[in-house]
Structure 1
Amino acid sequence: ERAEFINNREELGHWEMDTVVGTRESKNCLLVLTERKSRKQIIEKIDAKNSESVVEGIKKIFNRYPKTFKKRFLTITSDNGAEFMNAEAIEKLGVTYFYAHSYCSWERGSNENNNKLIRRFISKGTPIENYSKKEIKNIEKWMNNYPRELFHGKTAEEIYQNFFRKIA
């Protein structure tokens, strides 16, 4: 049901969301949001892979941008995992929520590709608890400041910030 202009990446503010786990036994996991047009990443270390922790993670992000959250986050698309089943709580923050079709990870392709970049730093089988919030934010910073061929050498952060300077 996502509009075609969102699918075509015509404007900023449309995000894809997923979780990245270390091991099945890991308590913590990463909540990963990727903005569709700029490919900007937000990585939040959360307590568990469940809906309560996901909503708390989104609320932390909301609290970082209380005045501009509704301009920055127009929509979020996630898979159908149990941890994303409380869309209602996220929509209460003013974000339209979509679910990708089952087994159609390409509907969140930017997110899936950026999750691979996270694996450069956190290999599968490594508990997320082994990484501090500062280390996670350093991974996020590296990803957002990595020059991208898609943007002719510009970074996701540059593309994203240029947009928000215009609307501020």
Structure 2
Amino acid sequence: MPGHWEGDLVIGKGGRSAVATLVERTSRFLLLVPLRGRDSLTVTDAIIAAVGDLPTSIKRSLTWDCGSEMALHKQVTATGLPVFFAHPHSPWERGSNENLNRIVREFLPKGVDIPSDPRYLAAIAAEINDRPRKIHDWRKPSEVFTELLEADAPTD
């Protein structure tokens, strides 16, 4: 069932920079959300902005780890995207996200500052979303996600 997301932060050098990663589980479509900080207000506002224009059928749930950056999760839930939390020390409960975080690290290795330039991060996400995946019979996550959006579009 589409619309279930997994999320996490990828932290840059010395914990000074970060990017939020959101992965839609059906399509494995990745959103990289630029962050100006790691506090809960900054992360919450960035997530709300990132998913705000998505149709409700693609916003069924968000599963996050137990990090303090989601202390304001009720604000995200109020937008129609309920937030759930994985059990502590249970990364397998967000397996799609952990896998894509590993791929994101190919572009943003540990020990480097993570840029907050939305265009740069969008280019990384686009490259990742255009990699064919075996789970989709070698179709791209971008294609599968587009199909999900088109299936939800009103017909005339």
Runs of 4+ in 1 over 4 A off after TM superposition: none
Equivalent of 1:24 in 9, 14, 25: 14
- Partner residue in 2 for 1:72: 58
Aligned-partner SS, 1:32: strand
Once the two structures are TM-superposed, the CA of residue 37 in structure 1 deviates from its matched residue by 1.2
Letter in 1 for 2:21: V
Tell me, in whole angstroms, the C-alpha distance in 2 between the residues paired with 1:62 and 1:25: 25
Residue number in structure 2 paired with 1:93: 79
1:44 pairs with 16, 29, 33, which one?
33
Tell me the TM-score normalized by structure 2: 0.92
**Change beyond 3 A, Cα 1:159–1:25:** closer
Deviation at 1:132, TM superposition (A): 2.8
Q: Percent identity?
A: 28
> 91, 94, 118: which is aligned to 1:105?
91
Segment drifting more, 54-63 vs 145-154: 54-63
State the distance in 1 between where 2:95 and 2:84 align: 14
Paired residues in the alignment total 153
2:124 equivalent to 1:139: yes
- Segments of 5+ residues of structure 1 without an aligned counterpart are 1-10
Residue among 29, 44, 52 paired with 1:55: 44
Tell me which amino acid in the other structure corresponds to 2:150. Answer: R
TM-score normalised per structure 1: 0.86
Instruction: Give the secondary-structure state (helix, strand or coil) at the position aligned to 1:120.
Output: helix
Tell me the distance in 1 between the aligned counterparts of 2:118 and 2:33: 8
Equivalent residue for 1:123, pick from 88, 97, 109? 109
Task: Tell me which amino acid in the other structure corresponds to 1:41.
Answer: L
Partner Cα separation in structure 1 for residue 31 and residue 117 of structure 2: 15
Unaligned runs of 5+ in 2: none
Mapped partners of 1:147, 1:82: distance in 2:
34
Task: Report how far residue 18 of structure 1 moved.
Answer: 0.2
Q: 1:14 maps to which residue?
A: 4
- Tell me the SS of whatever aligns to 1:119: helix
